[in-house]
Structure 1
Amino acid sequence: MAISATFDQLLRGGRVICPASGIDGIRDVAIRNGKIAAVQQDILPTSAKEVIDVTGKLVLPGLIDTHAHVYQYVTGRFGMNADMVGVQSGVTTLVDQGGPSCMTLPGFRHFVAEHAKSRVYAFLSAYLVGGLEGHYYPQLYSPEGVDIDASVKAATANLDIVRGIKAHAEIGGFARWGIRVIEMAAEIGRRADLPVYVHFGQLWGLPESGTNGEDVDTILERVIPLLREGDVLAHPFTRHPGGFVNREGEVHPVIQAALDRGLKVDVGHGSHFSYRLAKKALAAGIVPTTLGADIHGYNTHVPAPAGTPEQHEDDENHPFAGQAKFSLVQAMSSMMALGLTLEQVVPMVTSNPARMLGRADEIGALRIGGEADVSVIGERTGRFVLRDNENNEVVAERLLQPAFCLRAGARYDAVAPILPQAVAA
């Protein structure tokens, strides 16, 4: 009589790195009923219905992208398809940064979070209009466009998907309205007891009247005292004024003090990212906590299907013109090319973001009995050119590329059209 298999799937022979569990070595990962059933050496292949040979690959807890823009259609040309950025790019969990607001959250829940194959959370926009194309319509982002009570109510009533608040601290906003909008966002975070994720670096451009006496290099030191332990400083390596590196080329002295009192740093890579400035911040000991990719419709190009209008007719005119293709895994390669080790980078996309979201008991680990969210990553060695939006280049000797992921045990191959191709040096 045939003996039925114990497991549904077996990922066999890969290098398993799970910071939350302290595992780093060759292991097999067994899946049963969409859950992690075993992580150990030399599980019998005959014990599984399907054996997947992942020899030579990295097997990681499902990757978590802490900075996504996936409120498709509603946020104009910003919003990407969630599964293109998520499971089709080897990423199992996405955090939309500021797409939905207290007004538009029901649509985000119904049309994005509930329909995506990827797991989707959101940091609720502090602004009533959410993540519309604010660089075109900055007047929508004034203090009059913030409703503290409504935002707190929406956030606390939807804690299953709302895990933080998104705000902006940049010179265009300060020149128009001063610090008031950030004060309001910080109050929303305090009252909802959720982390506040703050964008630094120029975004909306200056009004016709100029800076109105505002100094971009004072924004950080004015905003940080409003924030609490667990709040997040985003875009540390931005090429725009107002980031961690000031106009004199020095890392702002308030940053280390902020980290010492429990604030966190998210890369928010995207088209803001500067290898030149990242090198300075890393040399000063500023190592990010989490690594959000910040992929949106302005820094990627997705070929339009035959017979449909081009998706980005005015790409050359938009303010964030950037690389044609990108992914969270490519952002991991960026950080390694800058000198961080793989062992430093993996927690930035697994255990650290799980803690940031208050979901460390559910995601970010290969935990026995937990949902089988697993990312399988290939690794190439050689010399590969990576380029930022300032046309700075770094050469990566190790290039990571997603192979596939499991989301609750279901397999999704990395077939997203936004995935970049390797360019040899």
Structure 2
Amino acid sequence: MRITKRLTIVALCSIAPSIAIGYAQQYDILLRGGRVIDPANGIDARRDVAVSDGRIVSIQADIPAAQARKVVDVSGLYVVPGLVDLHAHVFGYEGSLVPDETALPAGTTTIVDAGGSGWRTFDEFHRTVMAHSRTRVLALINIVGKGMVGEPYESDVADMDPARTAETILHNRDAIVGIKTAHFAKPGWDAIDRAVEAGRRASVPVMVDDKIFTNAGRTTKEELLEHLRPGDIHTHMYNDRQIELIDRFTGKVQPWMIEARRRGVLFDVGHGGGSFLWPVATRAVAQGFVPDTISTDLHQGSRDIQQSNMPNVMSKMMLLGMNFADVLVRSTVNPAKEIGRYPELGTLGVGRVADIAVLEEQSGVFAFKDSWPAKRLGTKRLECVLTIRNGKIVYERGAVPARGGDTAIYDLLLKHARIGDRGDEVDIAISGNRIVRIGRGLKAAHARVVAEAEGYTVMPATAAEGVAADLTVLDTGRAIMTIRNGKIVTDDEGLTISDATRAGPYSNFK
């Protein structure tokens, strides 16, 4: 699919009356021709979606355009339930964001602020953020009364009051959906146990962001099997500091992770700026340990570096091998269920609130960064085109410049090299152990590793597309780089472009 799709919006009230004879304009918005995917209702087909008075009122194969005041052509696009981000930061935390500026352009119609407010500060949060946001903002209230305001407050056990926390939840059921404990820097189980006690009193789940450092006196196995309840959530699942999912020596999923999932503990991505690592996620997904929910942990740092909004994190999980339907369930239905808001949220059911995301699956070569930040290249990316919240269009992507559909990814790219005694400079692309392309203007963004060879000679002179990638780079006859079987063996002059985002300090994993 090209990534230049532009929405066509027609206001039918301006069309000549003769066109609309026999039809009443009973719908406010009509999305026409999209691929509607609604896992909750088993729909995956080309359908039209009609919206009126803030609700989804009809999903049919062909709804006449004349019946709607506004028609949007979404052919070639996914029409899905508004995304639900279970872990975001819009209050209290120093990197908090404005929800309408970051959520709605990503197709996220509901966010859950994860621990920014506590029982002392929730009223302020409700007054200053929740009440004024077009995005639906819900809360996991912090077990710390002051909320997520850093040390020493987040480790103040005296401010972790299960009774006052539960009382605040019970008085604000419409806005508070659970409890968060995070960043506890002291040894022992006080923070987790008090959060769980508050959750028991209020009958809500607890989300845990914990540390497993040696001086914490806590282990993943104990936490998951002895302290958390079925329905409680461990976020940051693909990290190696908050949870021990993967055995560093064997690369296998730890047995207590499997046992915890069996007993009902839930696992959330919570990408953030420091909590998503390619080696952990790759090994886990390959063994079938996928997330229960996909969330962003979006804050100023992760927005600017990893750019980890919901479509970005969903795209990363697709890059790791999950299909779009499975990713979508974990971004809509599952989080809505975990916070007790299903089926009002997470579906496109007729009669439900009209929270809708229109997404485009783009083809090309795209860079995705983890938390180190190490880069991986993929050929598919999701991007939001249109967001409807409570029956109103709240975001529409503008026109996108045309881009080529080249999806080639190279393992190594030599830029500006001269082959033998040929006079012109060319780029040499290598995939696996073969030279796959020789030409000018090959894109460095399509390569995992780039070597700048301007002014140097590449031998043998017979190098050509399709032959083995056994090359030597010469500087006036002296070998400065050797490539054997497609791999760099020596690089005496440092021709490989230094870029920390291309690799990562993976030596701590087998």
Measured against the shorter chain, the TM-score band is 0.7 to 0.9
**What residue is the counterpart of 2:75 in the other structure?**
55
**What residue is the counterpart of 1:233 in the other structure?**
234
**1:110–1:289: structure 2 CA closer, same or farther, 3 Å change rule?**
same
Contact 2:224/2:260, CA 8 A, preserved across alignment: no
**What residue is the counterpart of 2:196 in the other structure?**
186
Residues 183-209 of structure 1, C-alpha deviations (whole Å, 9 max, x = no match): 11111111111001111456xxx7xxx
Q: Of 368, 376, 379, which residue of structure 2 is paired with 1:397?
A: 379
Q: Does 1:81 align with 2:117?
A: no
Residues 74-127 of structure 1, C-alpha deviations (whole Å, 9 max, x = no match): 43x321101122213221000000011101111111111111001111011011
Give 1:328's aligned amino acid.
Answer: M
Q: Does 1:297 align with 2:300?
A: yes
Question: Residue 238 of structure 1: CA displacement?
Answer: 1.1
Q: Of 352, 361, 364, which residue of structure 1 is paired with 2:346?
A: 364
The 5 Å alignment of 1:4-43 reads: 4-43=24-63
Question: Residue 403 of structure 1: CA displacement?
Answer: 0.8
Answer 1 or 2: which has greater strand percent: 2
**What residue is the counterpart of 2:179 in the other structure?**
165
Q: Does 1:273 align with 2:267?
A: no
Q: Does 1:107 align with 2:110?
A: no
Comparing 263-272 with 219-228, greater Cα deviation is found at 219-228
Question: Residue 223 of structure 1: CA displacement?
Answer: 4.4
Q: Does 1:378 align with 2:360?
A: yes
Question: Residue 181 of structure 1: CA displacement?
Answer: 1.6
Question: Residue 424 of structure 1: CA displacement?
Answer: 5.1
Secondary structure at the counterpart of residue 26 of structure 1: strand
Q: Does 1:242 align with 2:243?
A: yes
Q: Of 344, 352, 361, which residue of structure 1 is paired with 2:334?
A: 352
Secondary structure at the counterpart of residue 369 of structure 1: coil
Question: Residue 32 of structure 1: CA displacement?
Answer: 1.1
Question: Residue 264 of structure 1: CA displacement?
Answer: 1.2
Secondary structure at the counterpart of residue 99 of structure 1: strand
Comparing 242-251 with 176-185, greater Cα deviation is found at 242-251
Alpha-carbon separation, structure 1, partners of 2:157 and 2:118: 15
Alpha-carbon separation, structure 2, partners of 1:122 and 1:149: 18
The 5 Å alignment of 1:188-267 reads: 188-201=198-211, 211-212=214-215, 214=216, 218-240=219-241, 242-248=243-249, 249-267=251-269
What is the identity percentage for the equivalent residue pairs of Structure 1 and Structure 2? 35
Alpha-carbon separation, structure 2, partners of 1:139 and 1:99: 13
Alpha-carbon separation, structure 2, partners of 1:414 and 1:237: 32
Contact 2:271/2:308, CA 8 A, preserved across alignment: no
Question: Residue 27 of structure 1: CA displacement?
Answer: 0.7
Residues 214-241 of structure 1, C-alpha deviations (whole Å, 9 max, x = no match): 566x234334322221111111101436
**What residue is the counterpart of 1:307 in the other structure?**
none
Alpha-carbon separation, structure 1, partners of 2:253 and 2:293: 19
Alpha-carbon separation, structure 2, partners of 1:350 and 1:182: 27
Residues 155-189 of structure 1, C-alpha deviations (whole Å, 9 max, x = no match): 11111110011013x7x63xx23112211111111
Taking structure 1 as the reference length, the TM-score comes to 0.84
Contact 1:235/1:243, CA 8 A, preserved across alignment: no
Alpha-carbon separation, structure 2, partners of 1:215 and 1:157: 35
**1:362–1:155: structure 2 CA closer, same or farther, 3 Å change rule?**
same
Q: Of 276, 290, 293, which residue of structure 2 is paired with 1:287?
A: 290
Length, aligned pairs only = 381
Alpha-carbon separation, structure 2, partners of 1:243 and 1:69: 24
Secondary structure at the counterpart of residue 25 of structure 2: coil
Alpha-carbon separation, structure 2, partners of 1:46 and 1:156: 47
Alpha-carbon separation, structure 1, partners of 2:153 and 2:179: 20
Alpha-carbon separation, structure 2, partners of 1:358 and 1:241: 26
**What residue is the counterpart of 1:319 in the other structure?**
none
Alpha-carbon separation, structure 2, partners of 1:96 and 1:389: 21
Alpha-carbon separation, structure 2, partners of 1:81 and 1:153: 28
**What residue is the counterpart of 1:326 in the other structure?**
308
Alpha-carbon separation, structure 2, partners of 1:359 and 1:368: 16
Secondary structure at the counterpart of residue 5 of structure 1: coil
Question: Residue 61 of structure 1: CA displacement?
Answer: 0.5
Residues 126-176 of structure 1, C-alpha deviations (whole Å, 9 max, x = no match): 1112111x2xx14542322211111110011111110011013x7x63xx2
**1:268–1:140: structure 2 CA closer, same or farther, 3 Å change rule?**
closer
Give 1:78's aligned amino acid.
Answer: G
Give 1:234's aligned amino acid.
Answer: T
Contact 2:39/2:333, CA 8 A, preserved across alignment: yes
Q: Unaligned stretches of 5+ in structure 2?
A: 1-16, 408-443, 447-510
Contact 2:358/2:384, CA 8 A, preserved across alignment: yes
**What residue is the counterpart of 1:124 in the other structure?**
141
Alpha-carbon separation, structure 1, partners of 2:242 and 2:334: 27
Alpha-carbon separation, structure 2, partners of 1:247 and 1:126: 32
Contact 2:28/2:50, CA 8 A, preserved across alignment: yes
Question: Residue 326 of structure 1: CA displacement?
Answer: 3.2
Question: Residue 246 of structure 1: CA displacement?
Answer: 4.2
Q: Of 375, 390, 394, which residue of structure 2 is paired with 1:408?
A: 390
Instruction: Report the aligned-residue RMSD.
Output: 2.3
**1:244–1:259: structure 2 CA closer, same or farther, 3 Å change rule?**
same
Alpha-carbon separation, structure 2, partners of 1:105 and 1:155: 10
**What residue is the counterpart of 2:506 in the other structure?**
none
Comparing 141-150 with 239-248, greater Cα deviation is found at 239-248
**1:167–1:414: structure 2 CA closer, same or farther, 3 Å change rule?**
farther
Q: Unaligned stretches of 5+ in structure 1?
A: 302-321
Give 2:148's aligned amino acid.
Answer: G
**1:296–1:414: structure 2 CA closer, same or farther, 3 Å change rule?**
farther
Secondary structure at the counterpart of residue 234 of structure 2: strand
Contact 2:34/2:77, CA 8 A, preserved across alignment: yes
**1:391–1:80: structure 2 CA closer, same or farther, 3 Å change rule?**
closer
Contact 1:8/1:49, CA 8 A, preserved across alignment: yes
